[in-house]
Structures are given as structure tokens and as C-alpha cells.
Amino acid sequence: MSDPSEALASARAAADRILRVKRLNACLTPIKELRKSLVTQASAAHPSGVLYGMPVAVKDNICTLEFTTSCGSKILEGYRSPYEATAVAKLKAAGALIAGKTNCDEFGMGSSTEHSAYGRSLHPFDKARVPGGSSGGSAALVAAGAVPAALGSETGGSVRQPASLCGVVGIKPTYGRVSRYGLVAFGSSLDQIGVLGRSVHDAARVLSVISGRDPRDATCEDRDSLRLPNVPESLQGFVIGVPKEYFPQDLDPAVRRACDRAIRLLRELGAAVREVSLPHTPYAVATYYIIAPAEASSNLARYDGARYGPRFNGSADVRALYRTTRGEGFGPEVRRRVLVGTYVLSSGYYDAYYRKAQQMRALIAQDFRNAFDRGVDLLFTPTTPTPAFKAGEKLDDPVAMYLSDIFTVTANLAGLPAISLPIGRIKGLPIGGQLVGQAFLEDEMLEAAYALERAVPAGEEA
Amino acid sequence: MSVTHDEARKIAQLAELDVSEDALPLLAEQMSRILEYVAQINSVPASEGVKPFVPGPDAVRFRPDEVKPAPLAFGPAELAPAFRDGFFLVPKLGQFEDADA
């Protein structure tokens, strides 16, 4: 596309499609505002850009100038950022159109998009179920065909898990591949902006655009943008490890069947597949749910009603202002995590929890290094232990909700790239398979994903 | 690891978070459950020799120390709940009430 009239038509069509799936509560931007902005953006977009005219929705915890950034939270209701995320600026420079802000669990804390102050998002194929989270709005919009791609963010699997549950592709890049500037911080040593797309190619080309160095983020590596690989004829020469810890006895039978079929297809494509062990995997969720809340309790200290966002109980003294604003502004899951994070960092508990978790994180990262050092190029696992679960099913049991992330948190803890792609269905509900790559070798991971995507009958019952 | 109501109240104070007395029992119970679950990492033998893993660049890169205009589309006056003459306005500091903390 290089014709301004086509970009304009693309903008209008995107607004129409988003309106048609309004019932999903996936897009938080009012449709009138969205339509107007899309038309303005299309008129100003760069026709030479590689994403010219492509509508890309953006998770509500990534700062944009066009729309509010509420992070799915009452404490940032109506907040307009005075700057935009580098990833968003890069998208616009490539000619993409920012197609509104997507619903998410508050500050990215959740696995179902039920923890949003703006209501839950619905699964696109079964309204009684969740789309996953925290980037559930982004996943639902892509799965419903409203946009070809959307930005999400990951701290423990918040792109891959909803991608898996909604039947789309989700990529979490290597930590440091994409700038975090303008991504509202949750767990800074884990957070990364990721991409959800209809296909590996759609997601990969958006990732390629947003990747690369950024002097505004000291944790962003000084590297060129990701170069997209070609679609390979075969996977001859690839060694793919299958970690046995990701296939427990109680794994959902349909997920196991879909994974077995995907592994068979990887072999048929020419890859050598071998079983490997990542022995510290069983401790990953526990490790994650110490480190992430600890970092969150620190990052979220800035929300106090003094500098931005709404203020609750403004007439009290300043301490009461802080406490009331935070008490009323944060939802139940954020409150829980801030308290758990404060607890594990407090004097007397720091060594038993936080310090130990840091050691466990190192052991988990070492597990991956050991597998890769033994000649494995990539790992294949299920993305989630089950297909999409029912709304409300895990709301009263935080630990049960946390276990939804059991196969995804390890890549965040180890800073590695990973991709989820559809590998089958059970009773119409999508099942996702995950490839985990070596740091900064997204190109290899994408090659294998391209090949598997072409081979796998993703719409077929497992 | 069982968190008492008093401990939950104390942690909420440290976190500057208002928690109503009605909400305290459920919160303490959920915190206990989460902390019990995560404490399983202590069953792994001591790993003192392990070098901490920190993702990202090996060394912090510094930017040139140059004065540049703030890259903001608008200033804090438009963001703050209360702002005057370049200052964020907040209610006055009351008595420190942490004697009970």
C-alpha cells in the first residue's frame, strides 16, 4: 500500500471492524474518537513506511499521544501521557495507524483481563470465557479480525498466554530487543513490549519495526532492528528440545495431543527433536511471584494522587491523601501484589523470599543455557496448561490464576525470546504451542515458527 | 506462612495503602496463601555460589550529559490534580501517625 486513499480506506475499515466487535470490550477508546484519530493519522502517515496504512492497536499500558493511557486502572483514569513510547513512535514512523487502546488487566497484573477497572474483555469465540491476559484486549481484537496486529506487553507471559487462548500469534522478544521507554513499569527486570498478530509474518514485521536501539532506555541493547528471516523450505539442521517438565501428568489431554502432533510435524519438517530437562522449572511460578510483586511494589509507589491521575480525599493531610488515593485507585489484584511485594522486601523476610528468588532466577536461566550449550537451538512446549477457562473460574483463587502462567514465566525470568502460535483446537477453543529461542536469535525462532505455522492444521480439533 | 491481621495492617501502612478493616481478613488469608505457595523455593538447597542473573546489557550505557528540552507535549500543569506557580499542590503534612506502626 502506498496510496493515501488506500490508507484512508484502511483507517475507516479498521474503525468499522472495531465497532462491530464492541461487545468484546477489547478496545477502550470511544469509537467516535478512534475514527476521527485514525482518519487524521492516515492523512499524515508516511507512504514510504513499511507498515503504511496498517492499523495496529496498542495495549493501554503503553503511552500514546493520541489516546489516554489508563493501564486498565482507576488510578490513571483519563490520564493523557505527555510523551509517547518509542515503540509507538517507531510504528508511526513506519506509516502504521494507532488503532486505539486495548483493555488489559490493571497494570498488566492478571491472566484473564478480568482485573480491569473498565470491565472484563470477552473471549472472541465464547463470551463465557476469558481471552487470557493481561494483553487480553489486544488478543481478542486480533482474533476477531478487527486489526491485523496489536502491541501487548509481557512480564510473565501476558502476550503469549492470551495469544494462545485466542488462537493468534504472540511474540515476546529478548529482554533488551525493544525499548521499554513509554511502557508503564510493572516489573522492570521482566517487562518487554511484545506483538500479537494474525500470523507469524504480521507479528514479526511489527516486531521488526519496533525493535532496535533507543538511547532513552538504558536496558535496550545497542543493536540494529531485527531482520526478518525468509520462510524456510525445511527445518533441516535445527535441533529442537522438548523439556519434559513442561509435559506434566495433569496436562490437559487436548493440549498434549496438539503438542504431540506439532512435535511430529517439526520432525517431518526435518528438525531433530530430543527430550531435554530444565530441572528448576517447577519453581518458576513461585520465583516469579516474588520478584514481580517486589518490583511492582516499588514501581507503583509513584501513584499517590500528587502529580498525576485522579486524587481521592484531597482535603485530608498528605499521608491520608496517598493512602486513600492508592486504596481506592488500585483494584484488588494490584493491592494484593503491592502488599506481597512490600512483605517480601521487608526486613526479616528479604533473605527468605527476595534474595532466594534471585538465586532461583539464576538457576532457571542456567537451565536454559545448559540446554542451548548442549546443541539445542530452540525449545518447544505448550504455551498454556489448558485452553481458555471460564470467566470467574479463578478470580477467588489468586494462586490458581498465577498457575495459568506456568509455561510462560520462565522465558521472562531468563530474558529469552519466545513465540506462541496456534497448533489446534478443542471444541472450537484454540490451543497454542510455544517456541523458546536463544537471546537475540529471534530470527531462528521465527524461521521455525514460519515452518510450523505452514505445516500445522491450526483449525483442526486436537 | 500465616499472615496475621496485624501484619497485613502493618504492611499496608508501609505500602501507603488504605485497607478497610472489613477487607483485612480476606486480604490476610490471600496473602498467606500466596506466601505459602512461593515459600516452596526454600526447599531447593542453598545456592549461595550462584551469580545473580540480570537480563539486559552487561554494562549501563550513559548518555552524554547535555541539557536538552524536555520531550513533553505538555507540562505538569495539565497533568497534576493541583498545580500552581510551578509547584504540585498537596494537603499539608499532618502528624506522623506511625507510632502505632
What's the ipTM?
0.93
Could you confirm whether A59 is annotated as catalytic?
Answer: yes
Q: Which helix (H) or strand (E) holds A221?
A: none
Q: Does residue A335 sit within a domain?
A: yes
Whether residues A336 and B34 touch (CB distance < 8 A) is answered with: yes
Q: Which of A359, A369, A401 to mutate to test binding with chain B, by most B CBs within 10 Å of its CB?
A: A359
Q: What is the largest CA-CA distance in chain A?
A: 69
Cell of A378: 530452540
Contacts of A365 in chain B (CB under 8 A): 53
Spatial separation of the C-alpha atoms in residues A378 and A229, rounded to whole Å: 16
Instruction: Give the cell for residue A15.
Output: 474503525
The lowest-confidence range among A338-342, B26-30, B65-69 is: B65-69
* Segment A341-392, tens digit of pLDDT: 999 999 889 989 999 999 999 999 999 999 999 999 999 999 999 999 999 9
The reported pLDDT for the residue numbered B100 is 47
Confidence (pLDDT) at A208: 98
Single-letter amino acid code for the residue at A142: V
Contact A421, A158 (CB under 8 A): no
State the pLDDT confidence band at B99, using cuts at 50, 70 and 90: very low
- The reply to whether residue B55 touches residue A414, judged by beta carbons under 8 angstroms, is yes
pTM: 0.96
Q: Is A158 a catalytic site residue? A: yes
Residue A252 · residue A386 · CB < 8 Å: yes
DSSP state string for A201-217: HHHHHHHHHHBS--TT-
Q: Which of A112, A153, A158, A297 is catalytic?
A: A158
Pairing between strand A378-382 and A97-102? unpaired
| pLDDT above 70 as % of chain A | 99
Among B15, B54, B75, beta carbon nearest to A339: B15
Tell if the CB–CB gap between A339 and B35 is shorter than 8 Å: no
Supply the range of the domain harboring residue A318: 285-351
Q: How many domains does chain A have?
A: 1
Distance (Å) from the alpha carbon of B45 to chain A's nearest alpha carbon: 10
DSSP A103: -
Question: Do the domain assignments include residue A317?
Answer: yes
* Nearest by Cα to A76 from A398, A264, A334, A258: A334
Beta-carbon count within 10 A of A213 CB: 16
Q: Determine whether the interchain pair A415/B8 forms a contact, defined as Cβ–Cβ distance below 8 Å.
A: no
CB within 8 A of A66, min separation 6: which ones?
A37, A41, A98
Q: Which residues of B touch A178 (CB under 8 A)?
A: none
What pLDDT does A67 receive? 98
For the segment A49-97, what is each residue's pLDDT rounded down to a tens digit? 999 999 999 999 999 999 999 999 999 999 999 999 999 999 999 999 9
Give the integer Cα–Cα distance in Å for A405 and A133. 10
Is B31 within 8 Å of A280 when comparing Cβ atoms? no
Most B CBs within 10 Å: which of A64, A340, A406, as the mutation test of the B interface? A340
Residue A172: active-site member: no
CB contact under 8 A, B52 and A304: no
Q: Is the dihedral of CA A344, A346, A349, A354 positive or negative?
A: positive
Q: Do B15 and A326 touch (CB under 8 A)?
A: yes
For residue B33, the chain A residue with the least C-alpha distance is: A399
> What residues have CB less than 8 Å from A284, skipping those under 6 apart?
A364, A406, A409, A410, A413
Least confident of A126-130, A189-193, A214-218, A254-258: A214-218
| Element (DSSP H or E) covering residue B9 | helix B5-14
Q: Does residue A72 belong to any structural domain of this protein?
A: no
DSSP A355: I
Measure CB to CB from residue B44 to each of A283, A285, A304 and give the nearest one.
A283
